[in-house]
Amino acid sequence: MTSAQCQETAEDWYNKGNTLYGQGKYDEAIQAYDKAIEIDPQSVLAWNNKGDALRNQGKYNEAIQALDKALEIKPQLADAWSQKGAALRKLGKYDEAIKACNEAIRLDPNLAEAWNNKGSALKALGNTTEADTAFAKARELGYMG
């Protein structure tokens, strides 16, 4: 490790992770988030974004573990609740997914992604009327998914 690497902060690694994530380089992003977490285990945003990157790779159980760590640090992080809901939905845990999305919406009623994730879980359960309402709210809030 070079002296420059030793001097990099958790925020530096977090920012590198975000850049890599934006390029779709999820494995490398996760490695950067892990380095941020190694330096600052309480880096809630690194845990959150690691969970998101894992979710994008289809590693839903690992994603939930990272998101749970973010929520342990900051339970009011609406984005983590929404992402957890999306991961739970992918695992077929629709009721749990809806609960997570409802918590995200309670914390941030304008979080379009949470409304969309809730709609997807409701649709999977066959609750089309409620799903359509949630999807409409997501679109109203600007969800482009």
pTM, rounded to two decimals: 0.91
Q: What is the pLDDT of residue 144?
A: 86
**Structural domain tally of the chain?**
2
Q: What is the pLDDT of residue 1?
A: 47
Q: Please, which pLDDT band fits residue 137 given cuts at 50, 70 and 90?
A: very high
CATH number at residue 100: 1.25.40.10
State the DSSP H helix or E strand holding residue 35, giving kind and residue range, or none if neither.
helix 26-39
Closest CA to 22 of 61, 66, 52: 52
Q: Over 60: is that where the pLDDT of 107 sits?
A: yes
Q: Is residue 138 part of a domain?
A: yes
Q: What percent of the chain lies above the pLDDT cut of 70? A: 96
Long-range contacts of 136-142 (CB under 8 A, 24+ apart): 137/112, 138/112, 138/113, 139/112, 141/110, 141/111, 141/112, 141/115, 142/112
Q: Is residue 3 part of a domain?
A: no
Q: Is residue 51 part of a domain?
A: yes
Q: Is residue 4 part of a domain?
A: no
Range of the domain at 134: 96-145
